[in-house]
Structure 1
Amino acid sequence: MNARNSTLLIALFFTLGGMLSAQQRDQVGDTQIEPPEPVLETDRAVYKDSLKKKEKVKLDGIAAVVGDYVILDSDVAKTLIDLENQGASTKDITHCSLLGKLMEDRLYAHQAVQDSILVSDDEVNATGDRQIQQLVSQVGSMEKVLEFYNKEDVESFREELFNINKLRMLSEKMQQKIIGEIQVTPEEVRQFFNRIPEDEKPVFGAELEIAQIVKEPEIPEEEKQKVIDKLNEIKADVEDNDASFSVKAILYSQDPGSKSKGGFYSMTRQTPFVKEFKDVAFSLREGEISEPFETVFGFHIIYIEKIRGQELDLRHILIQPEIPQKAIDAAKQELDTIRQHILEGKYTFAEAALNFSDEKETKFDGGLLRNPTNFDSRFELTKMDPTLYNQVRDLKDNEISNPILETDPRGGPPKYKILKVTNRYDEHEADFAKDYLKIQELALREKQFKAIRKWMDTHIEDTYISVNAENRDCEFQNNWVKD
């Protein structure tokens, strides 16, 4: 990998890094990955000026070697510069701390290879394709992306993305292997809490508990049948007339994550697609096309292109039925009526959620929302999703919002909802009983950290590691500089 042009890409993954693991949901093949923070707004002239200011940067020097991986001085220096140019806070990031982080990643990746942890080339390429699509959507064209990264062609750009993604994904899989099965018992949580000095007990910010009732517009059966008929027509044209499934996907699929690739995905049983999609995909033989089937995203057909053990290469077409405006209006009207009946005391909000809400995940719990980060019922104000915060910030106690139209970020149909703040918690010092889930999370993190530290100590001893003389005075968190 060319150091002068590629380390800018490394910084990209401090923003995009972990994109799949952090943002994948139960959805069809990442069809709706949330966009990363903009990383291409920095003018290339600014980037060059920043380089000029770093007079001591040694572009071709070797900073460290970890197993089979070489880290150049330019990898470290340019990554820091790029983080600055992206607007990330680098106040507490030093050359040494950044080098230590790069060495950690490479030790994970090196050991993953030793432990025969596999990341398929198709999986890596699919990740790169998604990232390129996001970058193009940010700046408007592939030409602008190549210009910014100083690449002559798409293939050289893909190659560097492949190398970076492969290392990152190996690193993530190795880390998951280390901590994936670690759990904490209630007794361990209690001991962890009791070890915290009284004057160091954590303080949790103001929090809300929020409940909602959801109504989804009813899609007419005739609209569903139109989509099923269209998918059957496409299936027949491919099977009977040797039409290209890939071309059909480009023409008709409404899945933005795969449409431009002819509907292509590579997946395993662990890939976070919705259950219905995986069940159909793994029931098919190579070369077979499924019957139309329904998920929360609409109706699909799947074509199995290749089977490699537990991994599938497939193409799919997604078409969503049209939702008439009158169905959307009817959902809103029904929620208006439900809201009025609650205010009149005909039933409680929780009873209404149980009997009328279309959201299975919340209706049996009084409509109570769960925090996706820890599945607790509380949302800390300073950490809430901005959209949700704006929807509830002005609600008073026992007040119910008017119906709110919400689009599904995963690509599903729109829906209406009404919201209520069911409880408020002021900023407070941690209480073992009231804040058990948060304390449990802190205890788990500590246990995982200790496991990582132990693993690091062991494998640093057993792995060839060399740190350049100019970096040997760094105060690393790990013992990279061996005696």
Structure 2
Amino acid sequence: MPAVFAGESIYDEIYGQLLAFCLLSGLWSFGADAGITGKDSMIQFLHTSVRGVLLGAALLTASVTASYAQLGMTRPQGRQILDGIVAKVDNQIVLRSDVEALYAQETARAEGKPLPPDLRCRILQSLALNKLMLAKAEVDSVVVEDTRVKSELDRRMAYFIQQIGSEKKLEEFYNKPVKQLKEELRIQVKEQLVQQEMQDKISGKVSVTPREVRQFFSRIPKDSLPYYSTEVEVGQIIRFAKTNSKAKQAAQAKLNELRARIQGGEDFATLAKQFSQDPGSAAEGGYLGFFKRRELVPEYEAAALRLEPGQLSPVVESPFGFHLIQLIERKGDSFSSRHILLKPETGANDVSEAAQELTKLRQRILSDSITFAKAAKDNSDDKTSGGNGGLIANRQDGSTYLPLDKLDPAIFFAIDTMKVGSITAPMPYRTDDGKDAMRILWLKSNTPPHQANLTDDYQKIAAAALNEKKTKALDEWFAQNRGTVYLEVDPQYADCKVLSTVN
């Protein structure tokens, strides 16, 4: 993905990755959907109305604005744009920087190709629809719990830290502590989650029948059917490396040492910042905030609730590692705490044990004593793919079909010469959160390049038909509600007809 400003540092690549992260969260980009790529049949097939574009952009805004404007992805020195309010929708505002950030993104994505002359209007339209949804959420009392916001915020921060290399590099690049970055991002994350709740409320129960899928497909002109490149379905079974006893003992001993230091007068928060391996809370001195019962893993919750405010727990083991916990406050059925987390390191012997387990499982599958799907469901440590019969999902459309040219290189080279139905021997693997593991890969299908048809592409066509139906439901909602809010637009955008049309 091109950087917005050419010639900047190598961190432009990270910028692209952060934007990619936002798009991989199930959201669209303006460039393709707004028609920048012209008559491309694939785009016409998957996105059949401008309203679909505006809906996708509305949800995209919170993520892109968060990562671009709020997570340090501001314009480099010398390219600052004077900010100001360009639109008000009830109590919600749209800033000039919001519009310009997305315009800059699309300028870069177009790579010199002409942009639609009304692109800024389209962007403002989508942002205003976004704010309309937030304004109506206030009226309808649609809220998201702070714990959900915190969980999503921690997930994104962990991703950003992983992509840029380390927490220290992240802070150095933005010249801000992680705690401040999280606070700046929190509002954007909360708004996006509220938008998702509103969208689910409006169109979450919409579904399509096989007949509607066939009717949708029959309406697509034959010369507009997309041509798909090679796609594969790949299954995986992952087994985490077992932590050996020496590593566990070392982690426990270190936490006991830290416990003694805290009891001796040292500051818990300072030690958490120095030693905790929880990327979401370490920068905040281990502080987790308030949680209700059953929102944290049972081992942690049980240990925390046995404490009095200010008291330290003994070392506690959970699926995440070993914790030293300090209870801070109880408030009704909620409590706040801080912790220091240590994750015992795995070794070669531990990975070998996982490999042996997978070798035996592979032999059972190949001898037809168990199906791959059943083996994945019962044995894979990756519950997401395991619950899907081991099949890896396409993050963009939710299907199990993966474009060959966009596969993770590790998977591509593993299956490149495999026959359909084959299973690899156990291979080393590291999870997104840094856990050592082994996995086996299964090539379920390999579909050669072809024009879209109902036999090979039913999942994609059904998803497009569902998207069209949901878009209609949202069209109706916007039509009913756009006149119920106060709207004020900067004179510069007076010709944009914000909220005046949904087509």
- Range into which the TM-score falls when normalised by the shorter chain: 0.5 to 0.7
CA contact (8 A) 2:290 2:334 kept: yes
CA contact (8 A) 1:269 1:278 kept: no
Q: Report the equivalent of 1:27.
A: none
Alignment of 1:326 with 2:349, yes or no, is yes
CA contact (8 A) 2:427 2:439 kept: yes
Report the count of equivalent residues. Answer: 437
Alpha-carbon distance change, 193 to 300 in structure 1, aligned in 2, over 3 angstroms: farther
CA contact (8 A) 1:42 1:86 kept: no
Q: Report the equivalent of 1:409.
A: 432
Distance 2:90 2:244 in 1: 60
Gaps of 5+ in 2: 1-14, 27-65
Alpha-carbon distance change, 72 to 436 in structure 1, aligned in 2, over 3 angstroms: closer
| Match among 174, 177, 185 for residue 145 of structure 1 | 174
Alpha-carbon distance change, 61 to 304 in structure 1, aligned in 2, over 3 angstroms: closer
Alpha-carbon distance change, 206 to 312 in structure 1, aligned in 2, over 3 angstroms: farther
Gaps of 5+ in 1: 1-11, 24-34, 52-58
How much identity, in percent, do the aligned residues show?
26
Alpha-carbon distance change, 183 to 60 in structure 1, aligned in 2, over 3 angstroms: closer
Shift of 1:298: 2.4
SS at 2:495 equivalent: coil
Q: Report the equivalent of 2:205.
A: 182
Distance 1:276 1:382 in 2: 42
What TM-score do the two structures reach when normalised by structure 1?
0.68
Q: Report the equivalent of 1:465.
A: 487
Q: Report the equivalent of 1:104.
A: 129
| Match among 65, 76, 90 for residue 99 of structure 2 | 76
Q: Report the equivalent of 1:452.
A: 474
Q: Report the equivalent of 2:55.
A: none
| Match among 77, 80, 84 for residue 44 of structure 1 | 77
Shift of 1:21: 10
Alignment of 1:316 with 2:332, yes or no, is no
Shift of 1:463: 0.3
Alignment of 1:114 with 2:139, yes or no, is yes
Alignment of 1:59-458 (within 5 A): 59=82, 63-73=86-96, 75-77=98-100, 79-81=102-104, 84=107, 92=115, 94-118=119-143, 134=161, 137=166, 140=169, 142=171, 144-146=173-175, 161=185, 164-165=188-189, 167-179=191-203, 181-184=204-207, 186=209, 189-190=212-213, 193=216, 196-197=219-220, 199=222, 204-221=228-245, 223-228=247-252, 231=255, 244-266=267-289, 276=298, 280=302, 287=309, 293-307=316-330, 312-332=335-355, 350=371, 354=375, 358-359=379-380, 361=383, 368-371=390-393, 373=395, 376-397=399-420, 399-412=422-435, 414-432=436-454, 435-458=457-480
What TM-score do the two structures reach when normalised by structure 2?
0.65
Shift of 1:403: 3.5
Shift of 1:309: 5.7
Q: Report the equivalent of 1:22.
A: 25
Q: Report the equivalent of 2:32.
A: none
Aligned letter for 1:319?
A: L
Shift of 1:456: 1.7
Distance 2:354 2:414 in 1: 19
CA contact (8 A) 1:264 1:315 kept: yes
CA contact (8 A) 1:350 1:366 kept: no
Per mean C-alpha deviation after superposition, the further-off stretch among 346-355 and 159-168 is: 346-355
Q: Report the equivalent of 2:500.
A: 479
CA contact (8 A) 1:297 1:411 kept: no
Residue deviations 1:63-121, cap 9 Å, x none?
32211234355553455236646998996561101111221222222222333334678
Aligned letter for 2:77?
A: R
Aligned letter for 2:90?
A: G
Distance 2:241 2:355 in 1: 8
Distance 2:327 2:423 in 1: 48
Alpha-carbon distance change, 202 to 17 in structure 1, aligned in 2, over 3 angstroms: closer
Alpha-carbon distance change, 78 to 327 in structure 1, aligned in 2, over 3 angstroms: closer
CA contact (8 A) 1:294 1:300 kept: yes
Distance 1:208 1:197 in 2: 25
CA contact (8 A) 1:213 1:417 kept: yes
Aligned letter for 1:63?
A: V
CA contact (8 A) 1:126 1:266 kept: no
Alpha-carbon distance change, 142 to 407 in structure 1, aligned in 2, over 3 angstroms: closer
Aligned letter for 2:465?
A: A
